[in-house]
Amino acid sequence: MDTAKILIVEDEFIIAKGLARKLEKLGYQVVGTIASGEEALSQIEETDPDLVLMDILIEGEMDGIETATEVLQKFKIPVIYLTAYGDDKTLQRAEQSGCYGYILKPFKQREVHAAIRMALSKHQQELATI
């Protein structure tokens, strides 16, 4: 795969920009940092990312899990959650969304990099079997 295009959906500007810089240093192309689910869906149509990193608590009418569910169903793009929420109710909702990963904040750069690689690989394998 060429350089993977990643969309970051994170309502905390400093976290989003810091993550974008780290991902770009790792060789990824960040196609946007978005704060709401509605903006994310619009941005996906414009930029066609390979993967979405999604916070659960975001701005707008939809939370990150609702947004991720729509991303997975409508666009078939893998989503990895980056969130501070690790309670059982949230985990259960996330599991049901079909996500490709779940990383608790604060996270380490290597954790995110490994999760992205695994998600992209799994997604490519799934596409090959269709």
Q: Would you kindly state where each structural domain of the chain is located, as residue ranges?
A: 5-128
Q: Is the pTM of this model over 0.75?
A: yes
pLDDT at 2: 66
In 3D, which of 60, 61, 65, 72 has the Cα closest to residue 89? 65
Structure confidence by residue, pLDDT tens digits, 73-125: 999 999 999 999 989 999 999 999 999 999 999 999 999 999 999 999 999 99
Query: 5-128: which CATH topology?
Result: Rossmann fold (3.40.50)
Q: Please report, to the nearest 10 degrees, the dihedral formed by the alpha carbons of residues 78, 84, 85, 86 taken in order.
A: 90
- Cα(85)–Cα(91) distance, rounded to whole angstroms? 8
Give the pLDDT confidence of 21-38 residue by residue, as tens digits.
999 999 999 999 999 999
Return d(Cα 107, Cα 49) in angstroms, integer: 22
